[in-house]
Amino acid sequence: MRKELLSILVEPTSKAALHLEVHQTKGDEIFEGSLHDDAGRSYPIVRGIAGVYNLNGEPVPTGLLKRMTGVIAHRLVITQHFG
């Protein structure tokens, strides 16, 4: 995840600001860490990808996951060969 994204990301339900906790970077990318709000809700960043949750308890729509996977498909190939 790129740090610049923090300026446009908000907590999905409350629209509250998110704070970044960095555990590991690779170049200018946040590779491991978390995003959290002041109420204690937290979203992991794993291998450079922020976690996706549907806070109403329903599954994240399959179409959305497929679109997101398509956008990051190049990362999967790199990870398989070099990760």
**Cα–Cα separations (whole angstroms), residue 50 to 40, 42:** 16, 10
Whether the pLDDT of residue 73 is over 80: the answer is: no
Centre a 10 Å sphere on the Cβ of residue 30 and count the other Cβ atoms it contains: 23
Residue-number span of the structural domain to which 41 is assigned: 3-82
Q: What total of structural domains would you count in the chain?
A: 1
Amino acid found at 30: I
- Structure-model confidence comparison of residues 82 and 57, the more confident one: 57
> How crowded is residue 46: how many other Cβ atoms within 10 Å of its Cβ?
12
* pLDDT, tens only, 29-50: 888 899 999 998 888 888 877 7
3-9's contacts with Cβ under 8 Å and 24+ in sequence apart are: 3/28, 3/30, 5/50, 6/35, 9/35, 9/50
Mean pLDDT for the stretch of residues 61-66 = 71
